[in-house]
Amino acid sequence: MTRSGEPLLRVRELAVEFSTERGPVRAIDGVSFDVLPGETLGVVGESGCGKSVTALSILGLIPSPPGRIAGGSIRLQGRELVGLPERDYRHLRGKEVSMIFQEPMTALNPVLTVATQMTDVLMRHQGMSRRQARRRAIEMLELVEIPSPEKRIDDYPHQMSGGMRQRVMIAMALSCNPRLLLADEPTTALDVTTQAQVLEEMVRLQQKLGTSVVLVTHDLGVVAESCHRAVVMYAGRIVEEAPVEELFEHPRHPYTEGLLQSIPRIREEKLPELPTIPGSVPDLLELPPGCRFADRCYKADDRCRQQEPELELRCDIAVACFHPNRYAGCPES
């Protein structure tokens, strides 16, 4: 990789397998990426491409059985996480790596107050007394701009709005100053205006605390707004990785190109119909021998159908395609 600095998180050739009635399925297969300190990495793809599985496997939360990590390595600050005993993982979760979930409605416990849920984490990881933990929790709520936090902290989740709950989730996830925050579709369940606020909050806090973020989403708009780099996943594999501006300006992989074209644009009035990518995601149990995207790709040829392209890195951009789009400025072979 040409980016400077030691990565905070280094994922290499990660594969996660789920056993099903029809045999084992590789939900992700050979996923590799780095996250630098203070960086926000977007993980984009459609439903079922393995985005969430990637995030969960970093936290060691793949439901097992049926799931298991079938290979590869996940290193956090040089420490191997694959095969780490559950006991050690528990000290890591919340303290070093934290996670925000999609549904703020169900991710907070309905019968416990916000105070209880927040202080539990702090008392466990920071060894605080209940009183100290409460003070810290109020500070965190203030940080995510919850009005009169010293009162709202004693609320039950059902007394809060969706956006507020998601902000509580963010506050809780960041309360122990983790180095890495995994956000699994953090704004999907919110309405658009709240989405923007919550996202802004996340970016602001991330800059302030220097946390690295892995942002899993299917929403390219969210990626454009808040990420430095992005990884595009398709059917359990990474097809392209690039800095966000580059990804949006010059998509190399035909899938990325298709994704970008299928975003509605208000400015362009001429398009009679929104372009879509024909076909659908292949069944992970019956993968084609070649490129997984070949059946839907306008560029696919015989080679694509027989041989699987590897992720190749050139000028800070990695693409897994035999016929990537070429742009000026980067000397490609």
Exactly one of 83, 111, 269, 302 binds another protein (CB under 8 A); which one? 111
The yes or no reply on residue 135 touching another protein (CB under 8 A) is no
Q: How far is the CB of 140 from another protein (least distance, A)?
A: 13
| Nearest Cα to Cα of residue 9 among 300, 270, 225, 212 | 212
The yes or no reply on residue 91 touching another protein (CB under 8 A) is yes
Exactly one of 74, 107, 216, 230 binds another protein (CB under 8 A); which one? 107
Q: How far is the CB of 122 from another protein (least distance, A)?
A: 10
Residue range at the interface with another protein (CB under 8 A); choices 14-22, 31-39, 118-126, 300-308: 118-126
The yes or no reply on residue 156 touching another protein (CB under 8 A) is yes
Q: How far is the CB of 17 from another protein (least distance, A)?
A: 19
The yes or no reply on residue 192 touching another protein (CB under 8 A) is no
Say if residue 184 is exposed, middle or buried (CB neighbours under 10 Å; 0-12, 13-18, 19+): buried
Exactly one of 20, 64, 109, 307 binds another protein (CB under 8 A); which one? 109
Report the alpha-carbon distance of residue 120 to residue 83 in Å, rounded.
27
Give the CA count within 13 Å in the CB-facing half-sphere of 90: 5
Exactly one of 3, 151, 158, 326 binds another protein (CB under 8 A); which one? 158
Counting other chains too, the contacts that 19-27 makes at CB distance below 8 Å and 24 or more residues apart are 19/65, 19/66, 20/66, 20/285, 22/285, 23/285, 25/284, 25/285, 26/70, 26/236, 26/284, 27/53, 27/67, 27/236, 27/284
- Residues 43-82 binding another protein (CB under 8 A) are 59, 61
Exactly one of 44, 173, 244, 300 binds another protein (CB under 8 A); which one? 173
3-state secondary structure of 47: coil
Exactly one of 12, 15, 46, 103 binds another protein (CB under 8 A); which one? 103
* Torsions phi, psi for 271 (to 5 deg): -65, 120
Beta-strand runs (E) in 169-236? 180-184, 212-217, 229-234
Closer by beta carbon to another protein, 102 or else 194: 102
Residue range at the interface with another protein (CB under 8 A); choices 10-18, 121-129, 266-274, 317-325: 121-129
Q: How many residues bind another protein (CB under 8 A)?
A: 34
Report the alpha-carbon distance of residue 9 to residue 330 in Å, rounded.
27
Report the alpha-carbon distance of residue 57 to residue 12 in Å, rounded.
12
SS3 content of the chain, % helix, strand, coil (to 5): 35, 25, 45
Exactly one of 32, 73, 113, 325 binds another protein (CB under 8 A); which one? 113
Binding site for another protein (CB under 8 A): 59, 61, 89-95, 98-99, 101-103, 106-113, 115, 120-121, 124-125, 154, 156, 158-159, 169, 172-173
